[in-house]
Structure 1
Amino acid sequence: MNTIQPVTAQLRLLGTTDLHVSLIGYDYYRNVETVDIGLSRTATLIHQARKEVNNHLLFDNGDILQGNPLGDYAASSRFWQQDSYTEDQANVHPMYQLMNRLSYDAATVGNHEFNYGLDYLQQCIAGANFPYTNANIYQASIEGTHSPTAIIEGTADTWLPPYLILERQIVDDHGDIHNIRIGVIGVVPPQIMQWDKAHLEGKVTVQPMLEAIEYWIPQMREAGADLIIMLAHTGYVDSEDTGVLSENAVLPISQMKGIDAIFFGHAHKLFPGNEFAGKQGVNLKRGTINGIPAVEAGVWGSHLGIIDLNLQYDNHSWTVQSGSSQLRAIYQREQGLASVEADTELEQIASVPHQIILDHIQTPVGESDIPLYSYFSLIMDSAYVQVINNAQIWYAEQVLADSSYRHLPILSAASAFKTGGRYGPQYYADIEAGEMTLQHTSDIYNYANTLCAVRLTGAEIREWLEWSSGLYQQMDLQSTAEQALINPDFPSFNFDVIDGITYQINVCQPPRYHPAGYILDEQARRIERLCYQGKEIEDDSEYIVVTNQYRAYSTPFANPDGERVILDVPVENREVLIQYIRQQQVIHPAADHNWSLTLGISEQERLSLPSQPTITILSSPDAQKILSAYPQLSYSGINGEGFAVYRFTL
């Protein structure tokens, strides 16, 4: 008796995420060509992956419009007033010029898409030859916002289509052709309402990601979706790691019914990858989270995410029988070699905007009489961070001079943004003394943040610093083993240096806060000798702290009750830096050493230790050239990821 064989097919899903305007292999901060970033190289992996299978789709998971000087300049009208643009290029953002050639099937928005405002974003999306979806951003009503009930019940209007149903044909394993309906849904962290409040307030409102997904997935099934692909612009954290600062929801998303594959991002990590070993719900061998194939493809086009699904047709619909994911890299870091050549057609398309931005970033703004490095800015005060704080205080003093806050001391909080980490051993600032250009100011402040100031008490500033000091792992004075100082799970851009006060950070004490913002140890205190003008700061004393809108509106340590912002100006922090340098003409941003790390012991106690603690940090191999200025540091070799290991004596 003949048995009817089931109809089966393979479907390959390809995905990019967090491209951040990385068109080609070029680092606009260092002004050098590179082979480890760029969509023009990812494109070669896309072509290869498509050739290997009959059925494939390509998606993007957001954050494509911001991330380097090209993205910032493209948001200005001056960028488009170029004679070198052809008529068909004049109204299409450079990212979409490349993505259109690659024939993406669908995309969703990331949080950084909103950095330049809704009007600009809508203009950009209009240039895409593929559809966009987002399920948790809603149009604001005439009254200001839709009520939560209207959103939950689905009577509010979404800002983009909440989902897509892609009508495609698929070739089965026997060569026959069938129709298939592929549902695509996207979400973004609700924190965009704080991060880009000035652009979004009163125009849109955002629903929690899980609520939106829970509502719309049944709607997608009713609309005939055979499969549902999740484009989640959010990262992964273990459930016990969630906290007041968490914008990462992939784990609970993977536990929701009805999702067949997940593309995620936002955190710029690599999944499947060793960083996720042992994490809840993770199967690295298959590349799944709670059984759902999932992939996170790094940043700047460094990797292509691939999800392969095995499908079966039954009862007039397709279902997923199994699936797995993988990453393919454009660059082999351990070997220091490119995996693929760049797509020459995309390189040619990118050549016009590339030349425009090269000409632009060479515009001089002033001079610095000392070099600015970020190599060791996570472990000691540096001129690299000092110049940001100097500029922010300078600007705020002018703006607040005639205000009711003029009697309060003005402090400034800033971070060292370029400090390696998951971005690699070349991701550091290295600016020689002499002429400073727009390129250099972007190298110092590479986010499109705008300036804010908050009013805080001394006690609240102490808590802010306690959270910030979670960057460091606790050192054990009795250990004879090497101890890595930096906590790899703490984003370095959350490590704020607050200038205008002095303090020490005791790294032998346990951290008070988890990186996500919740308390780990009520009794723990790392911040010591917190003083203003030589006197210990009193808990109820008041200060103005200049910062950026990201920190002011999304970090409860900078804005405990949501009512502390006293200054919110539509001027980028980087523009403040540019104005400061131009006004000074020649800057002298020597570190004032207002903060330092300590082991919290006396010299006598140190001498009584069985051995001196061996503390290590990672930085660029290039940092060896400045070691002579830092006798407390010594070079110890190169690790497997290309970082230099330095021993640090405290």
Structure 2
Amino acid sequence: MKTKLLPLAILCGSSALFTGCSDSDNKQQFKKVEVPQAKVVSDGTKIEVRLLETTDLHANLLNFNYFADKQDDKVGLVKTAALIRQAREQATNSVLVDNGDLIQGSPLGDYMAKIKNLADGEVHPVYAAMNTLDYDVANIGNHEFNFGLEFLDEAIDDANFPYISANVFKDDGDDDANNDEPLFSPYVIQEKTFKDTDGTEHTINVGFIGFVPPQIMQWDKANLEGKVIAKDIIEMANHYVPKMKEEGADLIVAIPHSGLEVSAKKPLAENASYYLSKVEGIDAIMFGHAHANFPGPRYEGLAEHGVDVEKGTVNGVAAVMPGFWGNHLGVIDLTLEYTSGKWQVSDSQSTLQAIYETDANRVTTALVENDAQVESAVTQAHQETRDWVNAPFAKITSPVNSYFALVNDDPSIQIVTDAQTWYTQKIVQGTELDGLPILSAGAPFRAGRGGADDYTSIAKGDIAYRNVADLYIYPNVLKVLKLSGAQVKEWLEMSAGQFMQIDTASTDVQMLINPDFPSYNFDVLDGVTYKVDVTQPARYNAKGEKVSDGQRIIALTYQGQPVSAQQQFLVATNNYRASGGGNFPAIGADKIVVDSPDENRQVVADYIAHQSSKNNGQGLNPAADMNWSFAPVANVQIQFTSANSDDAKAYSEQFSHILPTTEVNEAGFAIYQLDLTQPQ
């Protein structure tokens, strides 16, 4: 089926109740098709329908990690596809939907959009794979706009299923909402032949309506400004759902690319799925965007808001959200019962089917085999992507490693924090947040936590995309918090729990690093300068519990001036930290002011490429700015461990306060001495 983006009138076809798409005059037309007279149906007749959903695939088609250049059975449509086929075999009646964020998010997506591009008539590997699975409909996600409207048009042109989105409209330049023309078909109603529990066939008109976060106008301003406008999700649902009922929809399935939040309703909300459950006429919600699992533990404790995680309902409406990157298939089993002249949902059960399981030792086991059809459809694109991702894309002017990231400002963290600052400056430009001081948080992910060889080490010169995984190992998403100076200081106090208290009266060797404190919770905040006084007791323990009134963070300044308790800052971080991960004091989702849709790792890659090309091809200088250091401590013996390698020992020669010893501990770590009387 050929589809067009501007306009995308894709209600054509014998399975839809509306036809009349016109490519010649570039106008979206609708013509009602007479529905055959329904057969007499007895009250109490039941039909069981299985609704299946994929969402947030982010171009993860195969079970492969391009950054690590190895198989990864925790991801991939090639695995989800096997679950889809199994789920269909188990059900008499089923439909399959996708909820967007398809063409961006993995190196394969980047390769197709930024390197290879799509020639006219060439099928994007995402759709080559999906076309083997007979999807019924797909919704547009926010990341579909990342590469611009022209690329989006060409990419979805060969999808063998219709696209919908009810809250994106062409920007006609006037203030008259009554004449706004949808960019996509807002909804589609499809005739389905379903068998009831006795085996008798019935025609059921299934309506699908989709939504995207209105924040696309902020996230993709450069691609969309002056071309489209985005409207409120709930407003558009209230507008279109009654029309769908009038036009014969027996069952209405909402497909919002929008998460679930029970906070007070507000206009243009990003995560509006909760309030969609209150729109009369919607029978099921297949949502996404939040990269989370519903039903699941994350949503426990919301029973008072009408959220049932056992049954998988929100205010009585069946709902499901199947994670991300293909790691789960979403399933809603509905029972439709014919009552008083119409079909109604009489029961439902939402479940998630996983593609893998992980045991207590963190060993991953695939639960399904690769789907042969999907695998075959994308083999060539996969190999091309693999070749590209291992090829250099930028340069760095000096080596980057994390050998001393726990005791010294470090280039492996600096690149990350600089990238996050760069991104945040762009995304807040022109908003009410523009002008606020921007800080950026980064932690040493690879600093020996996984053993004596678990350190980042990237050589000077060419850098490939897979090296970015060495800098940022987690698939986090960038978030920006708004915090006071007092909260910034407490953040740093929590981070300083990384260190043991040094006793200035002791003549014994004292180890500096607290082994119970995970290195990924040792956040460095760039944008301010400060010192850490390790002679003071830690204010917080590794669990985030306040254990003393210690004040380890001293000389905290911004642009040379002391940070005041009331001063306001934006702090770029990741979704883990922003949502309360690590139990940092006063840090939680309520502080998020920019709920970015982009991964920190991709932000780092984009920044390296940008800075490398900007520097006349000479490469990015990854040097740390040394914005933090230890307060001087005299007459003590302080030691710490790091890599037992020639590279690490050679790197230590750059610092007068880091001295290698000849000792190696039983775990294979080299022991180093820290002289805090020397300049840092």
Q: TM above 0.5, one fold?
A: yes
Q: How does 1:569-648 map to 2 (within 5 A)?
A: 572-579=606-613, 583-585=617-619, 589-594=622-627
Partner of 1:308: 333
Give distance in 2, aligned partners of 1:595 and 1:244.
42
Unaligned runs of 5+ in 1: 82-86, 400-408, 421-427, 449-453, 455-459, 476-481, 510-524, 549-554, 561-570, 604-621, 632-650
**Shift of residue 303 of structure 1?**
0.4
Deviations 1:406-430 (A, max 9, x none): xxx998755659979xxxxxxx995
Distance 1:389 1:269, change over 3 A: closer
Residue number among 356, 367, 387 corresponding to 2:415 in the alignment: 387
Residue 125 (structure 1) aligned with residue 117 (structure 2): no
Distance 1:285 1:396, change over 3 A: closer
* Letter of the 1:286 counterpart: K
Distance 1:486 1:282, change over 3 A: farther
**Shift of residue 232 of structure 1?**
1.1
Residue 328 (structure 1) aligned with residue 366 (structure 2): no
Partner of 1:519: none
Q: How does 1:546-565 map to 2 (within 5 A)?
A: none
Whether the aligned pair in 2 keeps the contact of 1:135 and 1:187 (CA below 8 Å) is yes
Give distance in 1, aligned partners of 2:52 and 2:400.
43
Whether the aligned pair in 1 keeps the contact of 2:489 and 2:553 (CA below 8 Å) is no
Distance 1:314 1:285, change over 3 A: same
Residue number among 97, 103, 121 corresponding to 1:59 in the alignment: 97
Give distance in 1, aligned partners of 2:69 and 2:350.
35
Partner of 1:366: 395
Partner of 2:129: 98
Partner of 2:372: 344
Distance 1:393 1:19, change over 3 A: closer
Partner of 2:49: 11
**Shift of residue 257 of structure 1?**
1.9
Partner of 1:531: 557
Partner of 1:230: 254
Whether the aligned pair in 2 keeps the contact of 1:392 and 1:576 (CA below 8 Å) is no
Residue number among 426, 439, 445 corresponding to 2:465 in the alignment: 439
Give distance in 2, aligned partners of 1:13 and 1:247.
24
**Shift of residue 247 of structure 1?**
2.4
* Letter of the 1:336 counterpart: T
Distance 1:14 1:559, change over 3 A: closer
Partner of 2:231: 207
Give distance in 2, aligned partners of 1:414 and 1:483.
25
**Shift of residue 317 of structure 1?**
2.9
Give distance in 2, aligned partners of 1:191 and 1:462.
25
Give distance in 2, aligned partners of 1:375 and 1:7.
70
Give distance in 2, aligned partners of 1:18 and 1:417.
27
Give distance in 2, aligned partners of 1:243 and 1:369.
49
Whether the aligned pair in 1 keeps the contact of 2:56 and 2:325 (CA below 8 Å) is yes
Whether the aligned pair in 2 keeps the contact of 1:303 and 1:327 (CA below 8 Å) is yes
Residue 76 (structure 1) aligned with residue 99 (structure 2): no
* Letter of the 2:198 counterpart: H
Kindly name which structure, 1 or 2, has the bigger radius of gyration based on alpha carbons.
2
Instruction: Return the structure number with greater relative CO, CA threshold 8 A, min gap 6.
Output: 1
Give distance in 2, aligned partners of 1:473 and 1:288.
39
Q: How does 1:413-562 map to 2 (within 5 A)?
A: 414=440, 416=442, 430=456, 432-433=458-459, 436-440=462-466, 442-443=468-469, 466=488, 469=491, 497-499=525-527, 501-502=529-530, 529-532=555-558, 534-536=560-562
Residue number among 306, 314, 327 corresponding to 1:289 in the alignment: 314
Which piece of structure 1 moves more, 344-353 or 249-258?
249-258
Residue 116 (structure 1) aligned with residue 181 (structure 2): no
Partner of 2:672: none
Which piece of structure 1 moves more, 172-181 or 255-264?
255-264
* Letter of the 1:112 counterpart: H
Distance 1:224 1:250, change over 3 A: same
Deviations 1:490-523 (A, max 9, x none): xx9xx994336448899959xxxxxxxxxxxxxx
Partner of 1:45: 83
**Shift of residue 322 of structure 1?**
0.8
Deviations 1:200-241 (A, max 9, x none): 11111111111111111111111111111011111122326x
Give distance in 2, aligned partners of 1:48 and 1:627.
51
* Letter of the 1:277 counterpart: E
When the two chains are superposed, the root-mean-square deviation of aligned CA atoms in Å is: 5.3
Residue number among 307, 323, 346 corresponding to 1:298 in the alignment: 323
Give distance in 1, aligned partners of 2:268 and 2:525.
19
Partner of 1:356: 384
Partner of 1:247: 270
Partner of 2:205: 181
Give distance in 1, aligned partners of 2:262 and 2:424.
40
Distance 1:187 1:318, change over 3 A: same
Whether the aligned pair in 1 keeps the contact of 2:421 and 2:438 (CA below 8 Å) is yes
Partner of 1:219: 243
Partner of 1:278: 301
Distance 1:540 1:239, change over 3 A: closer
Q: TM-score, normalised by structure 2?
A: 0.65
* Letter of the 2:291 counterpart: H
Give distance in 1, aligned partners of 2:284 and 2:405.
41
Distance 1:366 1:468, change over 3 A: farther
Deviations 1:586-606 (A, max 9, x none): x663544525899xxx99xxx
SS in 2 for 1:44: helix
Give distance in 1, aligned partners of 2:328 and 2:438.
37
Q: TM-score, normalised by structure 1?
A: 0.67
Whether the aligned pair in 1 keeps the contact of 2:96 and 2:137 (CA below 8 Å) is yes
Give distance in 1, aligned partners of 2:114 and 2:293.
33
**Shift of residue 374 of structure 1?**
12
Residue 22 (structure 1) aligned with residue 55 (structure 2): no
**Shift of residue 155 of structure 1?**
3.8
Give distance in 2, aligned partners of 1:46 and 1:369.
48
Give distance in 2, aligned partners of 1:471 and 1:539.
14
Whether the aligned pair in 1 keeps the contact of 2:78 and 2:371 (CA below 8 Å) is yes
**Shift of residue 4 of structure 1?**
6.4
Partner of 2:215: 191
**Shift of residue 269 of structure 1?**
0.7
Give distance in 2, aligned partners of 1:301 and 1:581.
38
Give distance in 1, aligned partners of 2:256 and 2:400.
41
**Shift of residue 363 of structure 1?**
2.1
SS in 1 for 2:140: coil
Unaligned runs of 5+ in 2: 1-40, 427-434, 447-453, 498-514, 541-550, 575-588, 595-604, 634-641, 653-657, 660-680
Give distance in 2, aligned partners of 1:159 and 1:190.
14
Give distance in 1, aligned partners of 2:404 and 2:67.
15
Whether the aligned pair in 1 keeps the contact of 2:443 and 2:524 (CA below 8 Å) is no
Whether the aligned pair in 1 keeps the contact of 2:284 and 2:317 (CA below 8 Å) is yes
SS in 1 for 2:351: strand
Give distance in 2, aligned partners of 1:579 and 1:269.
36
Deviations 1:579-620 (A, max 9, x none): 3688445x663544525899xxx99xxxxxxxxxxxxxxxxx
* Letter of the 1:101 counterpart: T
SS in 2 for 1:186: strand
Distance 1:367 1:224, change over 3 A: same
* Letter of the 1:325 counterpart: S
User: How many pairs does the alignment contain?
Assistant: 526
Partner of 2:169: 138
Partner of 1:611: none
Distance 1:317 1:526, change over 3 A: farther
Residue 160 (structure 1) aligned with residue 184 (structure 2): yes
Give distance in 1, aligned partners of 2:322 and 2:164.
20
* Letter of the 1:197 counterpart: K
